Chains A and B, each alone.
Chain A
């Protein structure tokens, strides 16, 4: 089972480390990262495998959002299935 973590906000030092650190702590394996910085806006999309995640999805989601708040960026976590459903017929 995979989840997609989206981070959008002002670019600051340590966002990637913060988010991936929280994933590692919870047992979510980072599979792929796409990121771009446009002017000073930062957008990162991270695909993680949550099959062996040690905490419930809600806890992972809340933990990541908390880190987002610390860095002043918006974090959104969702099951991969949402995007597959919306964009694939």
Chain B
């Protein structure tokens, strides 16, 4: 018989601590949908997604019932559309976004990622056309997510792309200003983007991936916090141990769900992404874990150290629990999606500069941050360049997902609803980096030895 306490602990995790599997994401290659006629290509894309992912949502729901574990999202990632669109003579890339959106509605997934360009070293014609079309694509579709990789440790940072993305983010927010600028919440700018990430908005299906694959993203900040709250006075070594043990249990469930989904859908299992992904729900916050460790408020001095410990312990616990680990794997710190981060930002304790420091030790980057509507494209590009530099030099993924709150200023609110949450507009240093951004060119790849 299984230990009674273990059973009751699991039930408590699910019912009181927001334990869930965050997403089953099916990665689908669209390389075989390439056609020089854009309408034919879009039809092939739509048909292939519907054919492959037709049972994805139902399978996810069935597994959820069988194991009694909520599986929040069923999603799809596809080959970067810039590659698929490159062959088309008519560069109306937005048609692909519409085809993806239709397919997402047809199969019932809430997001589809892969409206993506990888231009860390330079633009192809397809990359350029796709980036140009992002504002229209995100403002005229509902479920499509977009990402652009502008740098990597091996290639350096494409500053022309950095300059362009500052403008694209602003434009996307402007076109969706009537919907709290939600378009920008579906757009991520990456450095070192992973090819197997199951989490939105940055998911895409890399070219080194198989034709179709199942990736699973776990979650569970509430579970980690609850475990820590049971040991209020232990030392930091024990804190790390508790996080590791909890991450192990969480990830084992992710592995179980991934294997089961893979078996039922007859699609190979790719990876489990060991991420602590918060939601705006009370008790599902990464910030609250840091506060449980002993900070008065997230953002206080000591936050970066606590986050470094948390991020590392989650990986150590999770790696042993899964046969293949990948994606972003670490702790997420999306401000508007995390009740504790929202509260800390409202108090003024959590600032953009502190968040930037935190991104050097966590899994992603400046995520879901509302900035004043009058922030210039140059300043946004400057923020992107800084964040990409952190990722490039530290050989890690960093990302920027900023939402310029058009018509609003620091202290006002944006509310996206659902898991994207909402939160205060945060102050930004407005001193101009315009000349630096206008120079263009590339920041050379960093040296990989002499590490200090």
Contact = CB atoms under 8 A, between A and B. Distances in A.
Interface of A: 4, 6, 8, 32, 34, 43, 45, 47, 57-58, 61, 74, 76-87, 89
B252 interface: yes
A76 B15 contact: yes
Interface of B: 1-4, 6-8, 10-11, 14-15, 62, 65-69, 249, 252-253, 255-256, 320
A89 B255 CA distance: 13
A34 B11 contact: no
Given A58-B62, A76-B11, A76-B15, A82 B68 contact: yes
Contacts of B8: 6, 8, 43, 45
Contact of A34 (B4, B14, B15, B68): B4
The 4 closest A-B pairs by CB, nearest first: A78-B68, A83-B2, A85-B256, A87-B6
By DSSP majority rule, is chain B's interface helix, strand, loop, or mixed? helix
A47 B3 CA distance: 12
A79 B67 contact: yes
A9 B14 CA distance: 16
B6 A57 contact: no
A86 B253 CA distance: 6
Contact of A86 (B4, B10, B15, B66): B10
Contact of B7 (A45, A58, A61, A89): A45
B227 to A, nearest CB: 13
B10 A83 contact: yes
23 contacts: A4-B7, A6-B7, A6-B11, A8-B11, A32-B1, A34-B4, A43-B8, A45-B8, A47-B1, A57-B65, A57-B66, A61-B65, A74-B15, A76-B68, A78-B66, A78-B67, A78-B68, A82-B67, A85-B252, A86-B6, A86-B10, A86-B249, A86-B253
Contacts of B68: 61, 76-79, 82
Contacts of A8: 8, 11
A21 B308 CA distance: 52
Contacts of B255: 85
Contact of B67 (A45, A81, A87, A89): A81
Contacts of B6: 83, 86-87
A34 B390 CA distance: 54
Given A78-B66, A85-B256, 8 more contacts: A6-B7, A34-B1, A45-B4, A79-B68, A82-B10, A82-B68, A83-B7, A86-B10
Contacts of A32: 1
Nearest to A8: B11
A20 to B, nearest CB: 17
B256 A82 contact: yes
A56 B256 CA distance: 20
Contacts of B66: 57-58, 78-79
Contacts of A4: 2, 7
B6 to A, nearest CB: 5
Given A34-B4, A76-B14, A82 B65 contact: no
A80 to B, nearest CB: 7
Most buried by A among B15, B62, B67, B320: B67
Contacts of A47: 1-2
Contacts of A34: 1, 4
Nearest to A58: B65
Nearest to A32: B1
A80 B3 CA distance: 12
Contacts of A89: 320
Nearest to B6: A87
Nearest to B61: A58
Contact of B256 (A57, A61, A81, A87): A81
Nearest to A47: B1
Given A43-B8, A58-B65, A76-B14, A87 B2 contact: yes
A43 B207 CA distance: 51
B255 to A, nearest CB: 7
Q: Which of B8, B66, B320 has the most CB of A within 10 A?
A: B66
A57 B249 CA distance: 24
Given A85-B252, A85-B256, A86-B253, A80 B2 contact: yes
A89 B149 CA distance: 38
Given A76-B68, A78-B66, A85 B4 contact: no
A83 B3 CA distance: 9
Nearest to A43: B8
Contacts of A85: 252-253, 255-256
B247 to A, nearest CB: 12
Instruction: Point out which of A43, A77, A78 has the most chain B C-beta atoms below 10 A from its C-beta.
Output: A78
Contacts of A6: 7-8, 11
Nearest to A7: B11
Contacts of B65: 57-58, 61
Contacts of A78: 66-69
Contacts of B1: 32, 34, 47
